Copies of this chain bind each other. A is one copy, B any other.
Amino acid sequence: MGKKIVIVGGVAGGASTAARLRRLDEEAEIIIMEKGDHISFANCGLPYHIGGVIKEREKLLVQTPESMEARFNIDVRVRNEVVRIDRDKKEIKVRDLNKNEIYCESYDFLILSPGAEPIKPPIDGVDFPNVFTLRNIPDTDNINEFISKNNPDRAVVVGGGFIGLEMAENLQERGLKVSLVEMAPQVMGNMDYEMAAMIHNHLREQGIDLHLNDGIASVNRKGGKTVVVLQSGREIETDLVIMAIGVRPSTKLAREAGLEIGESGGIKVNEYLQTSDRYIYAIGDAIEVIHLVTGQSVLIPLAGPANKQGRIVANIISGKSDKYKGTQGTAVARVFNLTVASTGASEKLLKKAGRDYLVSYTVSKNHAGYYPGAKPMTIKLLFTPDRGVVLGAQIVGYEGVDKRIDLLATAVRHEMTVYDLQELELAYAPPFGSAKDPVNMAGYTASNILDGLVEVVYWDDINNLDKNTILLDVREEVETQIGSINGSVNIPLNSLRERLDELDKDKDIIVYCAMGLRGYIGYRILKQHGFKKVKNLSGGYKLYKAVQD
């Protein structure tokens, strides 16, 4: 008989471990303990099932206990909750939720993939029957049932992370009027403020009632109606509330067994995904990971890492050398018509980690501008000031954002520089890209900063300028009709060379255009004609404006 391996949790991390284990080892005894009714379901699809985008509920079940048993000869025990680990005996206690009985099961290796739980803040009304969280199929069924039965008009989504935003979109899709409440000044905490600002504008355009800088204080009932009360005192009448303020790693079992818990609150593991007990491994949302860029211990609850860790643990337990090198937090979400994505470290994170970095913004079309349907995406690139190593990237746009974030994620993982980005030879045909892809363009623009070919200022510098600074708008005159920065002088780029004498060579000059490209060309012209104190507004008026709106 082979090793006996017990896995706690049968979804992303757990099921992946089990499948790979079996492929590596026909002899092993493999048991999945899952307290819920389902294994191997598509957590990430739940919001879209509520929105009616994924119509059939069965589609959410990637594997069933039966299929997992038939294909992988795995002993799958749903409605079996592991309640205790006895490390000395290498035994667990399991509650069979059907019979409400507790039994013991021994293990050679134990793998914890218990995931995370939605955070429910300790506020009044959080347990009202129309206040929901979303983690699994029963949660989804509850929300669906509530909507079908009560035909509600209004929803409040609390929390502007990706689950909150997906829920906002899908509830609106389902016909509800949605308010989104976020305590922070911005949605999508993985992005920086100015990038999130574009999302805020889009949410408002889509008719979402957006409340930033305002947390939830309580849920009340007033005259038969549900009212969400915010910390500011503002009240929002609603029919249902979705709490999506984040998740907390499920560490109870590990904690009670005396396994080491990291500073961030996740189960601590080494690079072999081994806990402080060498026979117990842990993976997925429950663990603390090393941030690939900052080296800090963090929680990054995402499906890609969970699945990958599951496979790595299976390798390790089967004696195949492998290790987990860290998580970089590559993420993407659709937010109505927008696609929003990030990878690596944000500016916020780099600041917190005390790291030096430079920033560059570019705006590029997803494919050749002359081919119908081209749409712009704004890329924020973060890189080291010495060699230009890519530290992180954020993109807000439409089609093709996922492609560019994946390329930049690969650059981050392989410590490529902005010079490497210039050289990437990417596929180009009119429907798919440009001869200079947005990623090449981000590389060009960033390396120009590094090489000292241009000096830049940023959107947040503009409001703190010395009042003698000249704000030089090099857009065409017609473009200024959509607005410009207060106090600008307009000299369109194409006439700049002839009109240089209108500008004072000794003054500070900030050049800007719509997106940064013409401003850069303007900078090059001015600099080479003896203007000493010139800077270009990175990201241009478009980004500046997005933050003001």
Instruction: Please give the residue numbers on chain A whose beta carbons come within 8 Å of chain B beta carbons, in ascending order.
Output: 12, 22-27, 42, 44-45, 48, 53-55, 59-60, 62, 67, 70-71, 73, 162, 166, 292, 302-308, 311, 320, 325, 327-334, 339, 341, 343, 368-372, 402-403, 405-407, 409-411, 413-414, 416, 420, 422-433, 435-437, 440, 444, 451, 453, 493-495, 497, 520-521, 524-525, 528-529
* CA of A436 to CA of B306, assembled, Å: 10
Q: Is the CB of A302 within 8 A of B428?
A: yes
* Residues on B with beta carbons closer than 8 Å to the beta carbon of A495: 70
Given contacts A60-B370, A368-B42, contact A427 B343 (CB under 8 A): yes
In contact, B409 and A410 (Cβ under 8 angstroms) = no
Question: In the complex, what distance in Å separates the CA atom of A372 from the CA atom of B60?
Answer: 12
Give which listed residue, B303, B407, B524, contacts A406 with CB less than 8 A: B407
Question: How many subunits of this chain does the assembly comprise?
Answer: 2
Complex CA–CA separation, A57 to B535 (angstroms): 37
Inter-subunit contact A430/B370 (CB<8 Å) = no
30 contacts between A and B (CB under 8 A): A23-B520, A26-B525, A42-B368, A42-B370, A48-B430, A53-B371, A54-B371, A54-B372, A55-B372, A62-B369, A67-B494, A302-B428, A304-B428, A308-B425, A311-B444, A320-B451, A327-B425, A328-B425, A329-B425, A332-B432, A333-B429, A339-B432, A341-B427, A402-B403, A402-B432, A403-B403, A403-B406, A406-B424, A406-B433, A407-B410
Find out whether the CB atom of B372 lies under 8 angstroms from the CB atom of A436: no
Contacts A62-B370, A402-B433, A403-B402; A426 near B330 (Cβ below 8 A): yes
Cα–Cα, bound, A493→B493 (Å)? 67
Instruction: Flag if B429 contacts A308 (CB, 8 Å).
Output: no
* A305 partner, pick from B331, B369, B425, beta carbons under 8 A: B425
Q: With A and B bound together, what is the CA distance between A372 and B426 in angstroms?
A: 28
A98 to chain B, nearest CB (A): 25
A494 touches B71 (CB 8 A): yes
Contacts of A444 in B (CB 8 A): 311
A359 to chain B, nearest CB (A): 21
Bound CA–CA A506/B357 (angstroms): 63
A428 surroundings in chain B (CB, below 8 A): 44, 302-304, 330-332
Closest 9 CB pairs of A and B: A332-B427, A26-B528, A403-B403, A70-B494, A59-B370, A402-B432, A303-B435, A307-B435, A330-B425
Q: A436 — nearest CB in chain B belongs to which residue?
A: B307
Smallest CB-CB separation from A23: which chain B residue? B524
Q: A371 touches which one: B48, B333, B402 (CB < 8 A)? A: B48
Residue of B nearest to A525 (CB): B26
Chain B residues positioned under 8 Å from A311 (CB to CB): 422, 444
Query: In the complex, what distance in Å separates the CA atom of A436 from the CA atom of B312?
Result: 13
Pair A54/B370 contact, Cβ less than 8 Å = yes
Q: Which residues of B contact A303 (CB under 8 A)?
A: 428, 435
Check A71–B521 contact: CB distance below 8 A: yes
CA distance A431 to B47 in the complex (A): 12
**A497 and B73 contact, Cβ closer than 8 Å, known pairs A23-B521, A42-B370, A423-B413:** yes
Question: Within the assembled complex, what's the spacing in Å between the Cα atoms of A341 and B431?
Answer: 13
Shortest beta-carbon distance from A260 to chain B in Å: 25
Separation of A308 and B521 alpha carbons in the complex (Å): 18
A26 CB contacts on chain B under 8 angstroms: 524-525, 528-529
* C-alpha spacing A494/B64, complex, angstroms: 13
Are the CB atoms of A304 and B435 closer together than 8 Å? Answer: yes
Most buried by B among A45, A325, A328: A45
Minimal beta-carbon separation of A430 from chain B (angstroms): 5
A2 to chain B, nearest CB (A): 10
Q: Within the assembled complex, what's the spacing in Å between the Cα atoms of A403 and B400?
A: 8
Decide if B406 touches A426 in the complex (CB within 8 Å).
yes
Q: State the CA gap A521–B405 with chains docked (Å).
A: 33
Given contacts A371-B54, A413-B425, contact A407 B407 (CB under 8 A): yes
Could you tell me the distance in whole angstroms from the C-beta of A485 to the nearest C-beta in chain B?
Answer: 22
Q: A520: which B residues are within 8 A, CB to CB?
A: 23
